[in-house]
Amino acid sequence: MTTLRMKNPAAARQPARFNWLKIAVFVLCLLPLARAAWIVLSGDAVNPVEFITRSTGTWTLSFLLITLAISPLRQLSGWGWPLRLRRMLGLYAFFYGSLHLSTYVWLDQFFDWPGMLHDIIKRPFITVGFAAMLLMTPLAITSTQGWMKRLKRNWGKLHQLVYPVALLGVLHYWWLVKKDLTQPMFYAVVLAVLLGWRLYRRLRRSS
């Protein structure tokens, strides 16, 4: 006698609900770019190039920290679904970082390669900014399932570069700001909490 398996309607609805959530998060991640474009096109930005540079840089760092917050959120809440958003959030960090770099190279420096090389050597905040983007690039390239299978255990080791990337990002912002350090300090505190949580977990496992 053949036994018929009845599908659980609630379980069947879960993938569809997550797909809608993923689409909603995808759109939300584009809102900072849409807002920046609106402000520039409406003429509300006094210095459009500087505004775009600051906006994309700030959101690069924000998405980096949001990505780093996924694991603590899962560990504290027990929710598994945030992990399925981590790759997309990390790629958005790279996306905004690429826009940040492109704005500097194109709109600020007009492809003045000798001038940019001079900046990298002589201006520490630009040095660490370029270093952060350089380290972030292989993370974006190897974010696919195919690269995970190819690299196997080395994939996890490679993606630990996100920690120095975040540190360099905070340092880049800190050295960029000359007077009011409120925002860089906020990002530094958030990063310290996220890294401190990971250190606490590691020490607890080893004890």
For the chain, the farthest-separated pair of C-alpha atoms sits apart, in whole angstroms, at 80
Number of domains in the chain: 1
pLDDT value of residue 1: 41
Contact partners, residue 86, CB within 8 Å, separation at least 6: 67, 70
Domain-embedded: residue 1: no
- Tens place of pLDDT per residue across the chain (207 aa): 444 444 555 544 567 777 888 999 999 999 999 999 999 999 998 999 999 999 999 999 999 999 999 999 999 999 888 899 999 999 999 999 999 999 999 999 999 999 999 999 999 999 999 999 999 999 999 999 999 999 999 999 999 999 999 999 999 999 998 788 999 999 999 999 999 999 999 988 887
Supply the range of the domain harboring residue 195.
11-206
Q: Examine residue 4 and state whether it is found in any structural domain, yes or no.
A: no
Q: Which two tokens stand for residue 43?
A: 């003429």
Give the model's pLDDT for residue 178. Answer: 78
* Residue 61 token pair: 């760092």
Residue 3 belongs to a domain = no
CA distance 158 to 170: 20
pLDDT of residue 14: 63
Residue 184 lies in a domain: yes
Distances (CA, A) of 59 to 25, 56, 69, 137: 15, 5, 15, 17
In a domain, 81, yes or no: yes
Model's pTM, two decimal places? 0.89
Residue 104 lies in a domain: yes
Sign of CA dihedral 101, 106, 111, 112: negative
**pLDDT for residue 206:** 82
